[in-house]
Chains A and B, each alone.
Chain A
């Protein structure tokens, strides 16, 4: 086993994704500080982390479902519903905010559970199922709170958006989520999520209880969305029935910036968190640079496109390196080269190589 060329083991590739996503964010934030030094102040850093957290939590859920090979559009509806429930219930029952938090989180998990049942047990396409549940949830949100209103208590806001010593609470929350992700990826269920995303029928034949793992994954994703909705409530201190709609595309964009595969089977929630941070820093950066607001969307889209090109670049680099170092006699993995697979529109008979799978 020594001396033979090996594709990078799977854990490492995901670590590389985290490093790339983190580097992109850090570079952009450093540029922001260069343009506007006040962005480096602890007050603005805290503000920034709080602002990025709802999207980061939503992107973690989105990534989970993407990795298992599905698409979850219910992110928007779940955030809206969590937001309006928090804003109305907390206003109506002062002092009960923590019970309400638990209730909302449970509701998010339950929404995900229902999605999971439809997808895993009934075998329906995730895109259609979650599109429907998203519409249903958005409808419920409108029933509960037809127009923006409601409020959340100040101490709830202060706790979630405040600091512990010099550290933002939101940052700590994200660190805990990242740690939980690392642990989850080491559980049997977590590892099965990747296997199912890679090849569901092979996973089934390998003895993985794929239905159970799918249901758990969608439920965890729902939990993440409701956590995002709660954080959004603390951020805005009010409720809006359309609170979640802006999260739909941006959660997927954050996952894309985190190099989470849209074909399933690879990705890291931690990278998605950095993706969310990148997406949040872009408008600030443009604002500091004096560009008009309406450039924000164009620039965000451009950065996402560039992120999508990273696997392509690394594939070309790998191919270049291979052609320089390997002798034709070297045992090569069977099947067309990644490039050939591309030319055929991805028809490959053989499993895609790691790098190809990103998005």
Chain B
């Protein structure tokens, strides 16, 4: 077979859920050893395509063949046998198994008696980790003891170590601090003749690692491109269906003196946070940048009241009566934020229960008023209110969560990575809603894994390293490189 003909042929895959066409006739061709980028916002059908290829979802129609041989879809086992491997965005490792077990699932290596030896498993697992240059991960460690980045590493290694013919990486850098390791491994794999479908929101990654790519929107292919000639703005436009001229709302003039809204003095959480002090002004958006696990989560959760701090104090200046001081949009909307099986309306209003109940009885009319107000504030289409929130796309779910947080008009909004796994269009909306909240006099503390986002959105930013504030950046000093160095612990604590 010559290098130019298709090694992997995906033909006319269709999959419908109820009224939604998740995949509406998707066809892709991959050459042997090609890294193919797949772009698309959440709900575009990327994850559905992944699951169809994995055999977890059976498509309504369509075929997939590798090297001329057709794969029967709808069975995970057969997909695996055909040489398909997946690294899922949601990370598919049960928390209670060990790294070594995850690496070899489902075909754990058996000894002569058909039994799995933990010792042999651990040593083979360690060999695999070494082979993929991640020997600092302990193969005997339970998944739950790993940080998010290492869980992502394990997910990717587990997929790569099966020597696949087609590897699908679904948002592989969502939790990775640096991409160098991943790109190195992908290149090695590709040399062995494996083709890769690389799904990402991050255009920069796609153009770096992929030779060609495809843009998916609403379950259809809307654009195919060569990385060498692709225009990023144009691709974004194809992805979200409109131009992305102004991603970030304008910042108010920084010279204005702000009256303080929240003062944090020396709060500490044993083993996690050390003597954190800072101030938020009224109408100010303040960013927090940091590598994975530097205490930022403890900081946000402590301010929100979900975690106790051992010392220090938090002062909220002139809090409004009957209004919460802090309102948190948590990291993981599905497990920490939303009541997935409840209607969107209840998800929006549930923190406001006391405003529409009389002696415990809910007034449906008053609830509706609050829900409509919240939905309108976050541009959530009204027809969604009656649907279960789990039926909404990731972006709309995040809007629902955001709506719940701001409808209570807190003094301070705590946003913990609010654009994670959210499509580009919704991201822009979230930026504007955040700025609108601040413009009304509220203050915002936002943590994000995407540093450009903090630079574009925030009036001021802190970096956190090892549980301490490692730098403060404002005005001209608020740059990507500045925040990066602060996040690495080398920033100096100085006012701009």
Contact = CB atoms under 8 A, between A and B. Distances in A.
Interface of A: 1, 4, 6-11, 183, 186-188, 191-192, 194-199, 201-209, 265-266, 322-323, 326-337, 339-340, 343-344, 347-354, 357
Contact of A352 (B92, B95, B298, B301): B95
Interface in B279-297: 292-293, 295, 297
Contacts of B94: 194-199, 202-203, 206, 265, 351
B95 A351 contact: yes
B335 A347 contact: yes
Contacts of A187: 114-116
Interface of B is mostly: loop
A266 B88 CA distance: 25
A20 B337 CA distance: 37
B155 to A, nearest CB: 10
Contacts of B293: 331-334
A6 B147 CA distance: 11
A196 B56 CA distance: 16
Given A10-B142, A350-B144, A354-B144, 15 more contacts: A1-B136, A4-B138, A7-B141, A7-B144, A10-B96, A183-B115, A198-B95, A199-B94, A204-B76, A206-B93, A206-B105, A209-B106, A332-B272, A334-B147, A337-B307
Given A195-B96, A198-B96, A353-B144, A209 B271 contact: no
8 contacts: A6-B141, A194-B96, A195-B96, A205-B92, A322-B271, A323-B271, A349-B331, A353-B145
B88 to A, nearest CB: 6
Contacts, number: 173
A188 to B, nearest CB: 5
Contacts of B418: none
B355 interface: no
Interface of B: 54, 56, 76-77, 80, 86, 88, 90-98, 101-102, 105-108, 110, 114-118, 135-138, 140-148, 158, 270-274, 292-293, 295, 297-298, 301, 306-308, 330-332, 335-336, 466-468
Contacts of A192: 106
Contact of A328 (B54, B108, B301, B468): B468
Nearest to B270: A323
A28 B45 CA distance: 60
Contacts of B308: 339
Contacts of A11: 118
A202 B106 CA distance: 12
Given A337-B307, A344-B306, A208 B106 contact: yes
B136 A357 contact: no
A2 to B, nearest CB: 9
Contacts of B292: 334
Nearest to B292: A334
A1 B135 contact: yes
**B93, B95, B96, B270 interface centre (most CB from chain A within 10 Å):** B96
A207 B97 contact: no
Contacts of A344: 306, 336
Given A10-B98, A191-B108, A329 B466 contact: yes
